[in-house]
Structure 1
Amino acid sequence: MAEDQADNRRSRGRNPRGQGERLREEILVAAMRMLDELGDDQALSMRAVTRAIGTAATSIYLHFADRDALVLAVLNRCHDDLMRAMTEAESTHADPADQLRARTMVLGEWAYHHPGLYAVLHESALNQGTDMAFRKELADGTVAAVRRCMDAGLVPAGDAATIALDLRAAVHGAVSMRLHQPDQPWPPLEEQVERFLTKLVGIRP
């Protein structure tokens, strides 16, 4: 009798095929939207996420051990989306300089349109104690793009890693200032990025 009751409980606890993955995706999408609104991973509540998708509070723990695990999954998803968008943007150009320009614009526009997620990606408390390998992958991709320009003779030879870091810092600053000082008469981001590429990388306009 006891075994039958246990079997019934286990059966009720099983998700139909594919339902578990759908729930995980719903949780990720909801958490991503909320983090973009909050701009602070510490302000995210696991209970609020489950309320947003209309499921039991305990369901979220079947997929994510805690809030940090959920936030990290969101940031990994952001990274995957960014990498895919940059790869697609680069693939439309054969010229290495145009590839770097396209890649940089994707990153700048994504940061501008997702300020909350951008803040969590760079400023969250989770950053202090977690090795986020995907951030290095993003940085390495920019270094590789700068190096391709050098190899093609399109820009002066130099330290690609340092130049890529300067470029990323400049774009980060441009986006951050736009977000925090929206009343300023900012030029189009594309124009600023073009100047960064000219002055920092050496790409001819």
Structure 2
Amino acid sequence: MAGGSRKIRLWDPLLRGFHWSLAFFVTLSWCLGQFGPAKMTLHFWSGYAIAGLLIFRLIWGFVGPAPARFAHFLRGPGAIRDYAGHMLMRRPSHWPGHNPLGALSVIAMLAALATQVTTGLISDPDDYINVGPLAKHVSAATRSAAVGWHELGANLILILVLMHLGVILFYRHWKHEDLITPMLTGIKEIPEDAAAAFGAQSRTPDGERPGP
């Protein structure tokens, strides 16, 4: 960073709490779904926790601090193509927030989890035990099919999680950029010019910076 660098407050405490709580409950839900117990009470409660976290993230994506807002990190095809063209360069991107490709992974994960929660709520595996609380509100064919959709969704989420971990390792060892520490501390070092642009974008109309 020839022009110098600056540390910025990037991820707010609530977003960081959401991220690590979601990681915990997704892991817990997947393990309970794969390894039991047969009575899925804990699995259901873990799913409810994920549903609550997703609702929070949806709201926070519109009213939270600038880096957490969907409008801040969702980009068009041109920006995605441009970032992808430089992604393999062996240097840190120092992107102030989710980069254009990372934004796609965020949306994909949120959509997959929302679908997974929905199919779990309406599933009826015909065991008279692990029936979703909303299964009675859909047709017999739908709640039966939802069981298969839920199993397929679990595999898709596993793939997305493994891809997420793979990208973290890629950035750490290929691009020499640590993505984990900023999600723990909220602080990230970025180039001075990017920090100045980030500060301007992060100000509300009255000139105050939102969030902590």
Higher relative contact order (CA 8 A, sep 6+): 2
Higher percent of residues as helix: 1
- Asked if Structure 1 and Structure 2 have the same fold, meaning a TM-score greater than 0.5 normalized by the shorter chain, the answer is no
TM-score using structure 1 length: 0.31
- Normalized per residue, which structure has more strand? 2
- TM-score, reference length from structure 2: 0.30
Q: Which has the larger radius of gyration?
A: 1
